[in-house]
Amino acid sequence: MKRLGILGLMLALVFSTVTVATDQKVHAADTPANPIEKPGWELTKNDEFNGTTLDESLWVPRYLGYRTPLDRGNTDYYFKDGSIVLRVTESMPTYFTSGSSMKVSSIQTAQGDFHQGSYVKDHDEPYKSNFSQQYGYFEIRAKSQSDLSGHSAFWLNTDDPTIYQEATRNTSNQLEIDVFENYQQNKFKFNLLNPKGTSGVNKSYASTYPFDFSVDYHIYAVEWDPDNVKYYVDNQLVHTHSASNLLKKQMFVYLSLYVNTWGGDSAPTYPAEFAIDYFRAYKKAGNTGKIEAENMTLSNYGVETSSSASGGKLIKVNENQTGTAQFTFNGPSGIYDLDTAYFDENDGTSNFSLSVNGAVKDSWTANQDLGSAGVASSNLVVRTTKEVALNMGDTITLTGAFQQWEYARIDYVEYKPASGFTESFNGQSTGSAPTGWTLLNDNGTVTIAEAPSATDKSANINRTGTGINRTSMARTLSPLSGTVTIQAKVRNDAPSNTWFCLPYVYDSAGNMAATVAFEKGSIKSRVGGTWTTVQSYTSGTWYDLKLVINTDTDTYDLYVDNTLKLSNAQLRTAVTDIAKVEFYAADSNTGSVYVDNVTVH
């Protein structure tokens, strides 16, 4: 890019098929704002730009100040209709005093002597960092510039002032992630860059869209994790770069508008404007965790120390007492396996139980002879309570009883998504929300229904409104590899001209592995890149669906009512594991469907 003087270093890579994350198409009109709540993610920072002043506790309104005199590089902006509008006018001075006609208006979440490279330093710019993050999901909703002389950009850069020292200029340790660079109104680039050209890092992907980015608002996002950098336009995954060689450091954020620079093909049209509706950053919500017993709320339990315990501490019940240790579950809703680590002494017998919101989920007795009457690594035992439905805010209680000089000692509890599950819904209350599932009730409801009967219940997805947001029930699980079987009974009572996803199956990175849909009287499945009709269906009739997925060969078999319909079919996306199953409807599709007897193993 000319703004960093390194366009010539970018390596244009040819990538294969674009991976699609949803069946939603890229919009050729205003794309509605996403809900701020993002299932499976925690919001870490955002600015909705609904005020009339810039939040300078987050944003620095000056572009890479050290390279140019203080009267240049300052941001021109205003607020309109809940957006911030970055602006470049004819009267704005050029960014550099000579040698370039580029003008810039930019806000960023950090400032300092960044990106020195070959640039001459004009002055020291005090280091300031308001926000940076390693890994996560970064998103804006924006309308790009109509000016054809430059580009607008949403990008991230390494927040580490030690690598930019003028004496060393060690920018081989710098990473740039360009979420997008939009130019000539319908072209864009996604880049991973290192200014010193480190092998395997410089990657660029460019394309053209059939609509004008400057006419309407669209949503741009990047998902960055240790394995991949994924780029999204209007919630659709459009490209993936490998992250295997990338630096693992905090990154800060830029929102920038450039005039008279690379990407341009004409003289400037003033004023050039780049409007941003919102900026949001997320991190993955934790679905595994470890709670040390000494950090729980204790009753009739005391804390003692031992090098054999996790963290050097554990709890033991008071003599001749029954004690409890409680904690609040703060992970995302789902089905979990709970590991309770305790010490099984050889001088007595202790009784334990584990409860969720007062309901006992497991109980056991410690009565083995493992060679110690106290605390030792040899008698540390882990009890696994499998497939426990947990919702955020649930109270988990461990109960231990002293008996015959055994102190019901507990070290910790660890939770992780269950490696498989079976769900009949029969034990849940009619009309309630299904427990253990992540629900999206936009434009409808998901509740327990007495169908087919009061003693054989199911989950009812009843979509009553239209819109981009889903009416959905999803469950995550500990990633499974090899041969994975997903089975469910479904009944579609919706109108025949609708499309219901029953089910969609994903890997741990969110890629669609196998998908089945009920649409216009047909059961369909996506074989590779093509939707294939499997058979017809009748409204109000139950169908038993079974997917047998092989992640080693990236193929699957599909059975309907125990009859093989597809054999060794190509997965929609090649995956290495299976980690989520979802039933849902979106967009203009309305109606009611039922889901029952879901199993994954």
Residue-wise pLDDT for 3-15, tens only, equals 333 222 222 222 2
CATH of domain 422-600: 2.60.120.200
- Residue 438 has what pLDDT? 85
The C-alpha angle 387, 391, 394, rounded to 5 degrees, equals 100
The total of other beta-carbon atoms located within 10 Å of residue 575's CB is 23
C-alpha to C-alpha distance for 548 and 569, rounded to whole angstroms? 10
For a pLDDT cut of 70, what percent of the chain falls above it?
84
More confident: 537 or 42: 537
Q: What residue type is 150 in one-letter code?
A: G
pLDDT at 384 over 90: yes
- pTM exceeds cut of 0.75: no
- Judge if 45-284 and 289-417 fold alike in CATH terms: yes
Q: Pick from 286, 32, 280: which is nearest to 137 by CA? A: 280
Phi/psi region, residue 554 (left: phi>0; alpha: psi -120 to 50; beta: rest), is: left
Burial of 195 (0-12, 13-18, 19+ CB in 10 A): buried
- Residue 245 has what pLDDT? 63
> Considering only 14-23, 264-273, 490-499, which range has the smallest mean pLDDT?
14-23
Name the CATH code of domain 45-284 (choices 1.10.10.10, 2.60.120.200, 3.40.50.1820, 3.90.1170.40).
Answer: 2.60.120.200
- Residue 181 has what pLDDT? 82
- Residue 230 has what pLDDT? 87
Among all chains, which residue has been given the structure tokens 């021109």?
A: 76
- Residue 11 has what pLDDT? 24
Where along the chain do its domains lie? 45-284, 289-417, 422-600
Q: How far is CA 23 from the centre of its chain?
A: 18
pLDDT at 79 over 90: yes
Contact 62, 75 (CB under 8 A): yes
- Residue 269 has what pLDDT? 85
Domain 289-417 in CATH: superfamily? Galactose-binding domain-like (2.60.120.260)
C-alpha to C-alpha distance for 448 and 186, rounded to whole angstroms? 46
The whole-number average pLDDT for the span 243-252 is 73
- Residue 28 has what pLDDT? 46
pLDDT at 195 over 50: no
* Range of 65-69, 119-123, 316-320 with top mean pLDDT: 316-320
Contact 13, 205 (CB under 8 A): yes
pLDDT at 464 over 60: yes
The whole-number average pLDDT for the span 170-194 is 64
- Residue 421 has what pLDDT? 84
pLDDT digit string, tens, across residues 314-354: 999 999 999 999 998 877 677 888 999 999 999 888 999 99
